[in-house]
Chains A and B, each alone.
Chain A
Amino acid sequence: MAPAATPRNVAHLLRRAAWGGTPAEIEHGVDIGIEALVDELYDVSAAPSLGEPKAVPGLYNFDVATLANWFVRTNASSSTPAIERLMWFWSGHFATSLDKVNTPDLLLLQWLTLRHLGLGRFDDILKAITRDPAMNVWLDLWLSSVGNPNENYARELMELFSMGESNGYSQADVVSAARALTGYGLEDLPGTGDRPVAAKLEPSRHDFGDKQFLGDIGNFDGDDIVDLIVERRECHEFIASRFWRRYAGTTPSGAVLSELGDAFGSRLRIDDLLRAMLTHDAFYEDEVHEGLICQPVELVIRAVRGFEIELFDDERLTIEEANDQFDADREAGTPTFFLPWGVTSLTRMMSQEIGYPPNVAGWPHNESWLDSNRAAGRLMAGIEFGWGLLNVQHPVGTWLLDNFDDTPALTAELMSRFGVVEWSEETDAGLTAAYLPNDPYQTVISSIAVVFTSPEVTLA
């Protein structure tokens, strides 16, 4: 039996899988039910083709702020937010940092590859990521050659990307995989002026000897290694657990994991796994409703989307030109977007920089986001967000100012903008206390900050 399509459950599904729903979207979900809604969410025929962004592709064209702005805008404005949400999942699963890659273009290329393949077969995804230029630089694969295998990529391929640490493989398997993965050189190395499109196997640098891997012996290359990995039950359950962790937040029971592993393993398709997970009763248990802390980037995307904020959308402009444009628009009285640095500074304030995951294991999880530094950052970002909304005379901000003395309406409006349909008496009492007669500006900024940091919004 399908989970009940209550407003609470539908709002939960839309927050976890699609950056939150508007009241109309939630009502629609209640009407058609969870299963039909999940089908709609992953209907790729509705997905916009992102293709290449407008900037001329080439090394060093994108700066980090532009990349971050592109990412948030793409997510916030998409007609298929679940597809973009999945791209965000994959970008964290294969966490690659510009700290070492240094070339935002290459990271963008990786994300577009992941978006393109993300709903399909997992072995296709692994083979593509093995050839991905940003990944090759990030985990040193392009430097690994016969006689001198570099274990960096081979280890994380199994530990973090497909099987889980020591879950059905040994250090000897890592060594064998590293040998099989020698010779994947980049066609054009970073810094030489041309953009590397993909890595290819260079025979002169590849180890053609026999390798023993997961019990099989053969003259394996990287694709063979992937094929051997994805046959494994450990891989099916591990991938299911990674999705559960980032969509549900909790630790799944063995029974749920086994079911999801079956659903995924039969065809190795990610859309099978997502459907099984998001229509599973366990996904709608109270523990899961309260089981996931919204990451800062996710919170900013939800805010930009929920408040219908139009972001700067022309990657042909440099950031300086965009700044000038913004100032001119503001003077003309028609400021309608946040600047690129608005996105970057908001997430950075909360200790998350798009394109800079802390390490290959990806972004922190749940209570790690609640230490005093990050909690302070959320409060500051909430204030900054409220300030920005009023500063650009955004229509939602204007509505909030006009209704500042109607606390229940103000509260309901703010919660709704974050896709939240139920909240606690405690939060209600806090927002009542935030009301300052005679000071609409302070009342609205404080209320936004309180909602921004409330458990109802902080829990995704």
Chain B
Amino acid sequence: MSALVTSRNIAIPDEAYDLLLTAHEGLTKDESDALNARLILTLFNHVGDLDVIREAIEVARQ
């Protein structure tokens, strides 16, 4: 059984995607990389479950 939610889970996907792009607006490549890294670590902590994180990394690597 998958621990990671891989079914549709966000009510308004366009809003979520827009939040991401807006956060990066006006940033240099280095600043964007740093923001992404902080965002991943923050979400890691929210998820907390190593199995979910492992599966998410697998999805991202495919």
* A and B associate in one complex: no
Which residues of A does B touch, CB under 8 Å?
none
